[in-house]
Amino acid sequence: MRTPLPARNGPITPFVLITAATLLLTACGTGPDVTADAGAAGASDAVPTTDVVSAIHKDKAAAALLPEGVKSLTVAISVGGTPPGTTYLSDGKTLTGQDVDFADAVAKVLGIRLRTEQAGFEAILPALDSGKYDFGAGNFGVTDERRRTIDFVTYINDGQGFATRKDSKLSKVTDLKQLCGLNVATGAGTTFEATLEENKKTCTAAGKKPYEVQTYGEQGALWSSLQQGRSDVVMSTINGLRYAVAHQQGLKFLNEYHRLDVGFAFKKGSRLAPAFQAAVNELMGDGTYQKILKKWGTTGSAIKKSQISPPELGD
C-alpha cells in the first residue's frame, strides 16, 4: 500500500510533462497477470470507466450482519493521483479507482449509502478511533503493528516494491543495504516509510552511509523527483509501480519486496467488520470481484477469501 515537497529545481523533462498530463487526464499482482490485464483495461493513459458496480444487488444475509439501524456510512479515501489507486475522472471531481469500486460494491451488497470524504493517507487511520469516519479505503496494508489499533477486512493482496529510472544500475532490491547512500522516495504515513526508517540502521551497522528517505504527499511529485534526479529509487505499492512503469516513459520496475494483504480499515472492535467481510466474499461469489480486478489490471492481487485482521504475511 505520502510528505513535505522539496523545492523543484532543474528543467522539466518530457517524462514530467507526460506525468502531469496523465494526472490531469486521468485525474497496494504478479507480473504476468498485471501486464496482461493492463492492456485489457486500456494501455493508454485514460482511466478505465467500465461500470462494474451498478448491477450489484443487496444480499440480505450480509446486510443482516450490520449493526441495527445502519443505513449510511462515511468512508475516508485518500487520492493518490494515478490508477489503480484513487484518482479523478476527466471532470476533475468524480473519484475513481480500485478502492472506490470496492467500497461502492460493498455498499451495494449491504444496501447502504456511502458518504465519501477525501483525506490524506496518513490522517485516515488515526481518525477512525474518534468516529470521524466509519471506515477507510486507501490500499491499507495489513501489518501486525497496525493490527494493534485497527481492524481490517481484506479484499486484495498487494505489497511493497521498488522502481527506478531505466538508466539506473539497480536491477533488483533484495536487501535494503543495496540502497545505502541513495535517496529513496516514498509516501508519508505508509508502510514503505515505516519499513525504510526502521531499517536505516542496517547501513550504519555495515559501515555504509545511510539512505535518505524522502516522503511525498502525492504521486506526481514523487515521480518528478525520481526523473529529475532528486531521488534515486521509489518504494511504493506493487500495483502502483507496475502501472507507472507501463504508462510512463523512462521507468523500470525492480521487484516485489514484501507482499501484504490490503483491507478496509476500521477502529478496533468495529461491529461493521463481519458485514464487510461477508460482502466481499459475496462479490467473489457473484463474479463482481473478478470484474473489478480485471478493470484495474490487478488480477494478480486476487485473494481466495476475505479475512478480518489476518496476521501479517510472512509471519
Write down the pLDDT at residue 90. Answer: 87
DSSP 141: B
Listed residue (262, 256, 201, 218) closest to 34, CA to CA = 256
Q: Tell me which amino acid residue 2 is.
A: R
Q: Taking residues 72-86, report their average pLDDT.
A: 89
If phi > 0 it is left, if psi is from -120 to 50 it is alpha, else beta; for residue 42 that is left
Q: For residue range 180-233, list pLDDT tens digits in order.
A: 999 999 998 888 999 999 999 999 999 999 999 999 987 788 989 998 999 999
- Tell me how far apart the alpha carbons of residues 314 and 311 are, in angstroms, rounded to a whole number: 9
H helices of 27-167, where? 31-42, 60-63, 98-110, 121-128, 144-147
Cβ neighbours of residue 7 under 8 Å, at least 6 residues apart? none
Decide if 212 contacts 200 (C-beta within 8 A): no
Average pLDDT over residues 24-40: 33
List the single range of 158-167, 173-182, 197-206, 306-315 with lowest mean pLDDT: 306-315
Is pLDDT above 60 for 62?
A: yes
User: What pLDDT, on a 0 to 100 scale, did the predictor assign at position 29?
Assistant: 32
Indicate if the pLDDT at residue 15 is higher than 50. no
Confidence class of residue 99 from pLDDT cuts 50, 70 and 90? very high
The strand pairing partners of 261, in sequence order, are 157
Highest mean pLDDT among 34-38, 110-114, 236-240: 110-114
pLDDT of residue 169: 94
HSE, side-chain direction, 13 A CA sphere, residue 26: 29
Q: SS3 for 212?
A: strand
State residue 217's pLDDT score: 82
Q: Which of 279, 263, 287 is nearest to 28 (CA)?
A: 263
Round to whole Å and give the CA distance between 300 and 310.
19
Share of residues in the chain with pLDDT > 90 (%): 70
Q: Give the pLDDT band of residue 45 (cuts 50, 70, 90).
A: low
First to last CA, the chain: 18
More confident residue, 8 or 118: 118
Q: Of residues 83 and 24, which shows the higher confidence score? A: 83
Task: Provide CB contacts within 8 A for 157, sequence distance 6+.
Answer: 259, 260, 261, 262, 301, 302, 303, 313
Distance between CA atoms of residues 114 and 117, nearest Å: 10
Residues written for the chain: 315
pLDDT higher than 60, residue 40 = no
Please report, as a single letter, which amino acid is at residue 126.
Answer: P
pLDDT of amino acid 281: 98
Contact 131, 117 (CB under 8 A): no
Note the pLDDT of residue 314. 65
The span from the CA of 180 to the CA of 197, in Å, is 12
